Chain A
Amino acid sequence: EAQVTQNPRYLITVTGKKLTVTCSQNMNHEYMSWYRQDPGLGLRQIYYSMNVEVTDKGDVPEGYKVSRKEKRNFPLILESPSPNQTSLYFCASRTGTDTSEAFFGQGTRLTVV
């Protein structure tokens, strides 16, 4: 079954404690993105990757890091989480052709206290 798998689904952590949210897709997609969703706002892109070892900042990259060492995996790293990073996070992948639809993971609800 074609899918994007994110883990964990829910996470409560403390300010400053490094964490990683994993994302894996089994569709051989080139393009992967991370978004955050906050009330009243659209999905905002944090980082994206157009292929292995190619990553770039989205609209709200501050406080986040990513890596793309393999095509299927695109982890999101918060080196020192802060309360303003409390949000719902989605990973998504696409084939990379311009009009292809995005496939989303199940979402990770992160709370930083």
Chain B
Amino acid sequence: ILNVEQSPQSLHVQEGDSTNFTCSFPSSNFYALHWYRWETAKSPEALFVMTLNGDEKKKGRISATLNTKEGYSYLYIKGSQPEDSATYLCASMFSGGYNKLIFGAGTRLAVHP
């Protein structure tokens, strides 16, 4: 059974703090890693799709890195703002998995003014 783990489960930070969280996945047969941002009462929206070891992607104050050899990805938010409050989901794809995304349970971020 392929498992994708995210930590921490939830996080409370103050406005202006920088924060990061982790997605862990089995490194064997890895194919791609997705990050999604899910605001309450809305649809999850894609942030990044990464495939190569050492990949780094950035969108505004949010960035992500990927280590496929050890099976983890970090998501960083610099200078958190209240509008960053959301659940951040990662999902991994594996070779031979019929394009299937396996999701972690998410990290719920609350940014307090």
- A76-104 vs B, CB cutoff 8 Å, 1 = contact: the mask equals 00000000000000100010101111111
Assuming A90-B44, A102-B46, is B4 touching A42 (CB within 8 A)?
Answer: yes
A101-B34 contact given A42-B103, A48-B100, CB 8 Å threshold? yes
Flag if A107 contacts B43 (CB, 8 Å).
Answer: yes
Within 8 A of B (CB), among A5-45: 31, 33, 35, 40-45
Chain B residues with CB below 8 A from A4, complex form: 43
Number of interface residues, chain A, beta carbon within 8 A:
27
CB closest residue in chain B, given A99: B32
In the complex formed, the residue of A with least CB distance to B90 is A42
Chain B residues near A101: list those with CB within 8 A. Answer: 34, 46, 49
User: Is A62 an interface residue when CB atoms closer than 8 A count as contact?
Assistant: no
A7 to chain B, nearest CB (A): 14
Partner of A104, one of B32, B44, B102, B104: B44
Closest Cβ–Cβ distance, residue B51 to chain A (whole Å): 6
Give which listed residue, B32, B49, B89, B93, contacts A43 with CB less than 8 A. Answer: B89
- Complex Cα distance A42/B88, Å? 11
Interface residues of B in 32-77 (CB under 8 A from A): 32, 34, 36, 42-46, 49, 51
For B46, the closest partner residue in chain A by CB is A101
B16 CB to nearest A CB, Å? 30
Seen from chain A, the residues whose Cβ lies within 8 Å of a Cβ on chain B are: 4, 31, 33, 35, 40-45, 48, 50, 56, 58, 90, 94, 96, 98-107
Residues of chain B touching chain A, judged by Cβ–Cβ distance below 8 Å, are: 4, 31-32, 34, 36, 42-46, 49, 51, 89, 91, 93, 98-106
